[in-house]
Amino acid sequence: MSYFLKDPFHLVLWVFLSVSPAFSSALKGEPTYLLPLNCSELLPDNTTFLSFFESVGRGQVISQKDLSQKVFRILALRDKLGQSSPADSGINPVDVVIRRTLCFYRQQKEALQPVPYYDPKFISFLKDNIRELEQKVEAVIIESQYKIFHQEMLEKRAKQNQALVEEAKRRADKSAAQTFERLTRSASQKAKVN
């Protein structure tokens, strides 16, 4: 097999064939067993990255219970954020953090090599960086929730202000009518004098 991986055509074919089931299984909600190759920011499909991340948690449930627990906790936080966010809020920011962490490994360590969910080098990388990943996830959740609460506060304030604006307009309209009537009488008096 190593001979085939040295030949560019066979390498591309091997990567395509080995990654294709991962992409099709991710669409069905099944685990992805290889770290995706495409880390392009232009194609932010996070499905395969999330599926691979979950596969890591499943694969380490016996040998690395602590790591597995942290992976599942991150995914649970992701789900909770998705449930609390408005439906039209777009991409879940936890997805972006997970994808960037996995892509950092892909780009820095194993740019073209297939990385299975149980790869010892990848597991070591993830163990070394899981605390930082958890902190980033918590930070994006705080930021996301802040934006939601801030938007709600602004909308509430706008409604309160709208009531005050309506009341101010009514008073201004009444005052303007009285002023206009007085000015009209004054103009009429002036016309009679001249």
Answer yes or no: are the C-beta atoms of 105 and 35 closer than 8 Å: yes
Name the region of 53 (left: φ>0; alpha: ψ -120 to 50; beta: rest).
alpha
* 56-79: average pLDDT: 94
* 57-82: average pLDDT: 94
Q: Which residue has the tokens 């939601």?
A: 148
**pLDDT tens, position by position, 51-63:** 999 999 999 999 9
> pLDDT grade, residue 97 (50/70/90)?
very high
Nearest 5°: phi and psi at 61?
-65, -25
* 18-22: average pLDDT: 42
Answer yes or no: are the C-beta atoms of 91 and 44 closer than 8 Å: yes
pLDDT: which is higher, 70 or 47: 70
**Bridge partner residues of 116 (DSSP):** 34
Q: Which pLDDT belongs to residue 86?
A: 72
Q: Which pLDDT belongs to residue 35?
A: 87
Answer yes or no: are the C-beta atoms of 19 and 39 closer than 8 Å: no
Answer yes or no: are the C-beta atoms of 67 and 131 closer than 8 Å: no
Q: Which pLDDT belongs to residue 142?
A: 94
Q: Tell whether the model's pLDDT for residue 107 goes beyond 50.
A: yes
pLDDT: which is higher, 142 or 188: 142
Nearest 5°: phi and psi at 33?
-95, -10
Burial class, 144, CB count within 10 angstroms (exposed 0-12 / middle 13-18 / buried 19+): middle
**pLDDT tens, position by position, 110-130:** 678 888 999 999 999 999 999
Q: Which pLDDT belongs to residue 67?
A: 95
Q: Which pLDDT belongs to residue 43?
A: 60
Residues in the chain: 194
